Amino acid sequence: MRVNHLYQVIIVVSLLFIVESLDNNTLSNYKNIPITNLTGIFKPNFENETVEGNLTFYFQSREKGSQIILDTKNLEIKSINDLNGKSLIYKFGNENKNLG
């Protein structure tokens, strides 16, 4: 049953990035820096009832020097790296209970 739920989550996340539509529930700047590709590996942890994994996002900035803003609600982020494996600086903004 939990594995089916995991697949549903993966499908929903994938569809969110494939379909470009107006998202009124996001603080991200996905229209200025759209995602061009997304790959991921997920592993369910049944003991902790969590899903662990890695996502690789590929962006195409429409403006030089643009800042990428992503929704991070309910996520624990351990690191963010560029394509060369170099660790990038990141920070979390103020939490908004209604938005991502």
If you average pLDDT over residues 60-73, what whole number do you get? 76
Report residue 15's pLDDT band, with 50, 70 and 90 as the boundaries: low
Helix, strand, coil percentages in the chain from 3-state DSSP, rounded to 5: 15, 25, 60
Domain assignments of the chain as residue spans, ordered by start: 2-59
Cα pseudo-dihedral 64, 65, 71, 76, rounded to 10:
140
Amino acid 22: pLDDT: 65
Question: What are 50's strand-pairing partners?
Answer: 45
pTM summary value: 0.51
β 35-45/50-59 pair status: antiparallel
| Residue 78 near residue 54 (C-beta atoms within 8 A) | no
